Amino acid sequence: MTARPFLLALAISAGLLTIAGCKKTPEAPVAPGGIATTPPPEGETADQFIARVNDELRKGYPDLTAAQWVSSTYINDDSERLSSKANERFSIQLKGWIEQSRKFEGQPMSPATARAITLLKLQTPMPPPNDPKQLEELTQIASKMEGMYGKGTYCKGEGSAKVCRQLGDLEAVLASKDHDYDAQLDAWQGWHATAIPMRKDYTRFVELVNTGARDMGYADTGELWRAGYDMTPAQIAAETDRLWTQVKPLYEQLHCYARTQLKAKYGERGEVAGGLLPAHLMGNMWQQDWSNLWDMLQPYKDAGDLDINQKLDQLAKADEAEEMSKLSGPDLPNPEQLADLHQVAALSTAKRMTERAQDFYTSLGMPKLPASYWEKTQFIKPRDRDVVCHASAWDMNMAGDVRTKMCIKPTEEDFTTIYHELGHVYYYLSYNNLPPLFQTGAHDGFHEAIGDTIVLAMTPKYLQSIGLVGEQQQGDQALINAQMRMALAKVSFLPFGLMIDRWRWGVFDGSIKPDQYNKAWWDLKAKYQGVAPVTPRGEEFFDPGAKYHVPGNTPYTRYFLSHILQFQFYKALCDTAGYKGPLYECSFYGNKDAGKKLQTMLSRGASQPWQATLKEMTGSDKMDASAVLEYFAPLQEWLKKQNEGQTCGWSSGPVATAPATTTKRN
Which residue, 413, 437, 452, sits at the end of a domain? 413
Exactly one of 136, 239, 252, 421 is catalytic; which is it? 421
Exactly one of 391, 482, 526, 532 is catalytic; which is it? 391
Number of domains present in the structure of the chain: 2
Mind spelling out the 3-state secondary structure of 42-111?
A: CCCCHHHHHHHHHHHHHHHHHHHHHHHHHHHHCCCHHHHHHHHHHHHHHHHHHHHHHHHHHHHCCCCCCH
- Whether residues 209 and 330 fall in one domain: no
Is position 420 annotated as part of the catalytic site? yes
Exactly one of 179, 192, 255, 424 is catalytic; which is it? 424
Exactly one of 179, 255, 280, 420 is catalytic; which is it? 420
Is residue 40 within 8 A of residue 100, CB to CB? The reply is yes
Q: Is residue 328 part of a domain?
A: yes
Exactly one of 171, 271, 323, 448 is catalytic; which is it? 448
pLDDT tier at 53, thresholds 50, 70, 90: very high
- Whether residues 83 and 213 fall in one domain: yes
pLDDT tens per residue across span 110-136: 999 999 999 998 867 899 898 989 989
pLDDT tens per residue across span 464-481: 999 998 877 678 998 999
- Whether residues 208 and 311 fall in one domain: no
Q: Is residue 465 part of a domain?
A: no
Q: Is residue 422 part of a domain?
A: no
pLDDT tier at 329, thresholds 50, 70, 90: low
Closest CA to 488 of 411, 568, 389, 413: 413
Q: Is residue 157 part of a domain?
A: no
Is position 627 annotated as part of the catalytic site? no
Please check the confidence at residue 1 and state whether its pLDDT lies above 80. no
Q: Is residue 496 part of a domain?
A: no
Is position 447 annotated as part of the catalytic site? no
- Whether residues 312 and 210 fall in one domain: no
Which residue, 365, 388, 413, sits at the end of a domain? 413
Is residue 292 within 8 A of residue 175, CB to CB? The reply is yes
Query: What 3-state DSSP class applies to 155?
Result: strand
Q: Is residue 320 part of a domain?
A: yes
Is position 390 annotated as part of the catalytic site? yes
Is position 391 annotated as part of the catalytic site? yes
pLDDT at 2: 57
Give the domain range for residue 372. 307-413
Q: Which range is least confidently modeled, 14-23, 360-369, 522-531, 623-632? A: 14-23
Is position 424 annotated as part of the catalytic site? yes
**What pairing do the DSSP bridges indicate for beta strands 277-278 and 392-395?**
unpaired
Please check the confidence at residue 611 and state whether its pLDDT lies above 50. yes
Please check the confidence at residue 665 and state whether its pLDDT lies above 50. no
Is position 559 annotated as part of the catalytic site? yes
Give the mean model confidence (pLDDT) for residues 528-553: 97
Please check the confidence at residue 388 and state whether its pLDDT lies above 70. yes
Q: Is residue 337 part of a domain?
A: yes
Please check the confidence at residue 19 and state whether its pLDDT lies above 50. no
Which residue, 218, 247, 274, sits at the end of a domain? 218
CA distances from 101 to 52, 64, 115, 135 (A): 12, 21, 12, 20
pLDDT tens per residue across span 565-583: 999 999 999 999 999 999 9
Please check the confidence at residue 354 and state whether its pLDDT lies above 90. yes
Give the mean model confidence (pLDDT) for residues 303-328: 85
36-40, 86-90, 326-330, 612-616: which is most confident: 612-616
- Whether residues 212 and 357 fall in one domain: no
Is position 88 annotated as part of the catalytic site? no
Is residue 593 within 8 A of residue 576, CB to CB? The reply is yes
- Whether residues 86 and 212 fall in one domain: yes
- Whether residues 11 and 127 fall in one domain: yes
Exactly one of 179, 192, 280, 390 is catalytic; which is it? 390
Exactly one of 549, 556, 572, 594 is catalytic; which is it? 549
Exactly one of 419, 431, 559, 584 is catalytic; which is it? 559
- Whether residues 16 and 134 fall in one domain: yes
Q: Which residue has the higher pLDDT, 252 or 146?
A: 252
Q: Is residue 339 part of a domain?
A: yes
